[in-house]
Structure 1
Amino acid sequence: MAHRSRLAGFIIDCQVDDLGVATDFWSKALGLHVGEHYVDGAAEYAAFTGTPADLHVEVQKVEHPSRVHLDIEADDQDAEAARLEALGAKRIGWVKRWWVMEAPTGQRFCVVKMREPGKGVKPNDW
């Protein structure tokens, strides 16, 4: 099935008690302004504004060890997950609204729903 996808951005997973401290550090380190701060169930996030190429960059409070992961956004998440599996990735599980995947090289990443197809870099057609 034809679908579109592209790099959505980077999520900085922070195993911290106070996401504000992490947000302040990464804002200053990257030279980005802090935008929306929001809570989604037990998860807490802070997004940055003014990112290069309109990439979505945010910090996320997590329970697992700190790391950076990327998000690929797709207009059909299942089709994109299947395409990536054909390249050697594997599905780890469905979490809330996205697929957690693992690359053949071991890195975890997510396949999320495409937010604004007309904004930012043109998506790839598959």
Structure 2
Amino acid sequence: MTHRSRLSGFIIDCNTGDLDAAADFWAQALGCTVADRDAGDATAEYQMLGDTPGDLHIEVQKVDHPSRVHLDIEADDIDAEAERLEKLGARKIAFVKRWWVMEAPTGQRFCVVKMKYPERGAPAKTWD
């Protein structure tokens, strides 16, 4: 199935009890601002950074697993993109709310999320 995808951005997973402090640290470390302290929802705690280099999407997320950084790939059809990535050797770990958590053949976890602003940023790659 023809679809489009591209790098969405980076999520800084923080195993912390103080998401505000974590977001403040990363904003200052990266020379950004905290654009939205309430970017999450009832079951996920995120804070979105603003004034990022190249308008890159960067969020700080409170997690229960060890701290790490993961990337998101955004697509206009997340199921088609997950299938394309499986053919390259990735595997699906779980469908969470509205995105796929996947694992690369080399063990890195990443997410496939719905494309929010197709008109912004670098053009998406079209896949057949």
2:99 corresponds to 1:98: yes
Name the structure 2 match of 1:51: 52
Name the structure 2 match of 1:5: 5
What CA RMSD, in Å, does the superposition of the two structures yield over aligned residues? 0.8
Deviations 1:32-77, CA, capped at 9 Å, x for gaps: 1110112312321110112222221010001111110000000000
Name the structure 1 match of 2:27: 27
Q: Secondary structure of 2:61's match?
A: strand
Q: Secondary structure of 1:110's match?
A: strand
Normalising by structure 1, what TM-score?
0.97
Structure 2 unaligned blocks of 5 or more: none
Contact map agreement 1:53 1:121 (CA 8 A) in 2 = no
Distance 2:7 2:33 in 1: 21
Contact map agreement 1:13 1:60 (CA 8 A) in 2 = yes
Contact map agreement 1:14 1:67 (CA 8 A) in 2 = yes
Contact map agreement 1:101 1:108 (CA 8 A) in 2 = yes
Normalising by structure 2, what TM-score?
0.96
Structure 1 unaligned blocks of 5 or more: none
- Identity among equivalent pairs (%): 66
Q: Runs ≥4 in structure 1, deviation > 3 angstroms?
A: none
